[in-house]
């Protein structure tokens, strides 16, 4: 189908209803006041922020009807889209991309032609391939609708099994425990975040959760979920490799949080180049090999000066990549340079991570873990590569500079363990 056969022509077509697409729309409108912008999302809601869904929104501390940071979760309220002349097509899935005709076909048969296209389709929750995973009472936590359902269910005394101890799993667990629910966490790996933190840090977080009432089942696999005699659920687990040692955990409901599967199907339908692990391959300007087709957010596999090709599934990357993609869609030529950053709030712990953490790196603890205020500094071949801050983000900007510039640790490396050591002294003089 040619562009002339399409239902309409759009200057800027944004596919995906998350933060990356919404940020790109904001950026485009700042630089082009008249070009047509259409945002297509298969969500029923306007674009919203995901971080509060597993934290303050799940706990009932904020509502939905407000912008993020002001008591709500939305990126912008409905009036803003009208004022900015940005059209949002909701509850609509984009089904097929034709890069030659420069069109996108929607599920209802409409076809939109575009001058510039952003793919920001994000991901969907991974689903366990086990019996009972579709039973009533088994939930995911990805969308605002998911959070609405769980927010109404999490109550004092409820027995909850959480499968997965990544950030979504632990944030959901912390929120449920804060509401006096009883929580069991099932994880096939041997400890918390084994690819990202040293064993002593895993032990710190596990102990913190256990003091709040969590029960952990590490190195256990979930074999099945079944209905119980009392009308609730039972989760059948076993130590990895020892399926004969099955045990059952009764519960009121289950939350599965085992990561996401990237939504690359639309890009694949158009023949765009895909990295099976990282998503849609883009250059340093977030542009695919097809001119004026960009990708941002979770699905953008971008070149990184330290990690080579990577994608990053977090709020900060969605904003930063959305801004650059939107700017470049208007005609700029800005490279994407970004030190990876993510944050998490669990109980009274404010957690911030910058850089490229691996469990193989040498870790130096700056501060006191037993006082719940410390930074874990990651060194690889003597270079500062990452910083995990727990209630200790006062020097976040300095850590970002050190990591971005690949600054070596001081000769007396243990100076980094002293909170009074001047980090700025490591930076090149201006």
Instruction: Report the percent of the chain where pLDDT is more than 70.
Output: 98
Looking at the structure, do residues 158 and 227 belong to the same domain, yes or no? yes
Q: Domain holding 152: CATH number?
A: 3.50.50.60
- The average pLDDT across 61-68 equals 92
Q: Is residue 21 part of a domain?
A: yes
Looking at the structure, do residues 17 and 117 belong to the same domain, yes or no? yes
**Number of domains composing the chain:** 3
Q: Residue 274: count other Cβ atoms within 10 Å of its Cβ.
A: 17
Q: Is residue 334 part of a domain?
A: no
Report helix, strand or coil for 277. coil
Instruction: Show the CA angle centred on residue 294, arms to residues 288 and 299, nearest 5°.
Output: 90
Of 201, 221, 256, the position where a domain reaches its end is 256
Q: Is residue 340 part of a domain?
A: no
The pLDDT of residue 336: 96
Which pLDDT tens digit goes with each residue over 72-114?
A: 999 999 999 999 999 999 999 999 999 999 999 999 999 999 9
- The average pLDDT across 141-158 equals 95
- Model confidence band, residue 2 (pLDDT cutoffs 50, 70, 90): very low
Average pLDDT score over the chain? 95
Contact 219, 184 (CB under 8 A): no
Q: Is residue 131 part of a domain?
A: no
* Confidence (pTM): 0.94
Looking at the structure, do residues 117 and 17 belong to the same domain, yes or no? yes
Contact 187, 158 (CB under 8 A): no
Burial level of 230, CB count in 10 A (0-12/13-18/19+)?
Answer: exposed
- Measure the N-to-C terminal CA separation of the chain; round to a whole number of Å: 56
Looking at the structure, do residues 237 and 277 belong to the same domain, yes or no? no
Q: Which domain holds residue 408?
A: 348-426
The pLDDT of residue 1: 40
The pLDDT of residue 393: 96
Which pLDDT tens digit goes with each residue over 197-229?
A: 999 999 999 999 999 999 999 999 999 999 998
The pLDDT of residue 430: 52
Which pLDDT tens digit goes with each residue over 238-262?
A: 998 887 789 999 999 999 999 999 9
CA distance 127 to 135: 13
Q: Domain holding 386: CATH number?
A: 3.30.390.30
- pLDDT of residue 332 exceeding 90, the answer is yes
Looking at the structure, do residues 116 and 149 belong to the same domain, yes or no? no
Instruction: Report the percent of the chain where pLDDT is more than 90.
Output: 93
CA distance 120 to 279: 11
Looking at the structure, do residues 238 and 164 belong to the same domain, yes or no? yes
Question: Of 181, 201, 178, nearest to 191 (Cα)?
Answer: 201
Looking at the structure, do residues 9 and 119 belong to the same domain, yes or no? yes
Looking at the structure, do residues 19 and 115 belong to the same domain, yes or no? yes
Of 256, 284, 313, the position where a domain reaches its end is 256
Looking at the structure, do residues 248 and 294 belong to the same domain, yes or no? no
């Amino acid at each position: 189908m040619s562009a002339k056969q399409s239902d309409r022509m759009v200057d800027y077509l944004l596919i995906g209803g998350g933060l990356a697409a919404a940020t790109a729309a904001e950026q485009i409108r700042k630089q082009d006041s008249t070009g047509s912008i259409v945002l297509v999302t298969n969500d029923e809601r306007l674009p919203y922020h995901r971080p509060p869904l597993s934290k303050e929104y799940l706990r009932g501390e904020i509502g939905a009807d407000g912008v993020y940071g002001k008591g709500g979760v939305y990126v912008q309220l409905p009036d803003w889209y009208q004022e900015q002349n940005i059209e949002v097509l909701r509850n609509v899935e984009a089904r097929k991309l034709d890069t030659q005709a420069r069109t996108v076909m929607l599920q209802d048969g409409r076809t939109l032609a575009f001058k510039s296209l952003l793919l920001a389709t994000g991901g969907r929750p991974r689903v366990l391939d086990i019996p009972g995973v579709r039973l009533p009472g088994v939930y995911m936590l990805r969308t605002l609708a998911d959070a609405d359902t769980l927010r109404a269910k999490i109550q004092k005394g409820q027995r909850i099994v959480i499968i997965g101890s990544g950030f979504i799993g632990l944030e959901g667990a912390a929120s449920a425990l804060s509401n006096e629910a009883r929580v069991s966490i099932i994880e096939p790996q041997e400890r918390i975040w084994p690819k990202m933190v040293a064993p002593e840090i895993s032990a710190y977080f596990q102990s913190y959760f256990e003091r709040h009432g969590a029960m952990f089942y590490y190195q256990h696999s979930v074999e099945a979920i079944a209905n119980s005699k009392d009308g609730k659920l039972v989760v059948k687990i076993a130590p990895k490799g020892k399926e004969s040692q099955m045990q059952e955990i009764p519960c009121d409901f289950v939350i599965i949080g085992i990561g996401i599967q990237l939504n690359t199907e639309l890009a694949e339908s158009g023949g765009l180049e895909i990295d099976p692990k990282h998503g849609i391959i883009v250059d340093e300007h977030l542009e695919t090999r097809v001119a004026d087709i960009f990708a941002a957010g979770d699905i953008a596999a971008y070149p990184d000066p330290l990690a080579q090709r990577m994608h990053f599934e977090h709020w900060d990357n969605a904003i930063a990549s959305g801004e650059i993609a939107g700017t470049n869609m208007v005609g700029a030529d800005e490279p994407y340079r970004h030190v990876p950053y993510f944050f998490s709030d669990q109980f009274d712990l404010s957690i911030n991570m910058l850089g490229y953490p691996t469990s193989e790196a040498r870790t130096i603890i700056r501060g006191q873990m037993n006082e719940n205020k410390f930074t874990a500094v990651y060194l690889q071949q003597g270079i500062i590569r990452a910083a995990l801050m727990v209630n200790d983000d006062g020097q976040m900007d300095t850590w970002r500079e050190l990591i971005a510039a690949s600054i070596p640790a001081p000769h007396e490396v243990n100076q980094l363990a002293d909170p009074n050591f001047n980090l700025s002294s490591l930076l090149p003089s201006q």
